[in-house]
A and B are shown apart, each in its own frame.
Chain A
Amino acid sequence: AQSVTQLGSHVSVSEGALVLLRCNYSSSVPPYLFWYVQYPNQGLQLLLKYTSAATLVKGINGFEAEFKKSETSFHLTKPSAHMSDAAEYFCAVSDPGGSYIPTFGRGTSLIVHP
């Protein structure tokens, strides 16, 4: 069984500040990990993914995430927040040896203040 825990339902930052969204996973096998972004009343857009290659993954819009097996974490970061980054962010895990269907975390709402 797999699961994802996103710490903090809301994260608030100032424009230009560092963004850090936390994600910890639980998986009995080496997982695939994903971060998705959702804007209001829209579907999910893939930001980045980890599929057992490089542990530091770079995605779109300046986001990146680092896979840390020892900490079972896959935190999402961005050096400088932009107002347009305000959205809901979902971490997801899937089993590459199974169905690939992702299991989603509860989501973290990123709020960016001017």
Chain B
Amino acid sequence: GAVVSQHPSWVICKSGTSVKIECRSLDFQATTMFWYRQFPKQSLMLMATSNEGSKATYEQGVEKDKFLINHASLTLSTLTVTSAHPEDSSFYICSAPGDSNTYGYTFGSGTRLTVV
């Protein structure tokens, strides 16, 4: 089945630095990937839709300059949290549409970001 690999699984960084999170589709091509943010004990909030070869589409209220998304190939999308601050600490999850027969989405294992 479709597998999405997300790295790193956790990262601690200092305020003001940038962190890159990678999301790879291992056995299928993903022209579209989705990036979610999840606060403790809360649901997933869609941040942006990553489109291969074009600009990402951001949800309302998400800072484009802070959360840089790049989808350079059919198997790789990256989310870079720039100039991170403690309030950016969260659990970030990527997702890609599964095969056409499932209509489900395959999720990465998530990245726990802690900004100190």
Contacts and interface: CB of A to CB of B under 8 A. Distances in A.
Interface of A: 9, 32, 34, 36, 41-46, 49, 51, 90, 94, 96, 100-102, 104-107, 109
Interface of B: 4, 6, 9-10, 34, 41-44, 46, 49, 91, 93, 95, 97-98, 102-110, 112
Given A90-B43, A101-B34, A101-B46, A32 B103 contact: yes
A106 B43 contact: yes
A50 to B, nearest CB: 10
Nearest to A9: B41
A43 B110 contact: yes
Given A101-B46, A106-B43, A107-B42, A41 B104 contact: no
A41 B104 CA distance: 21
B93 A44 contact: yes
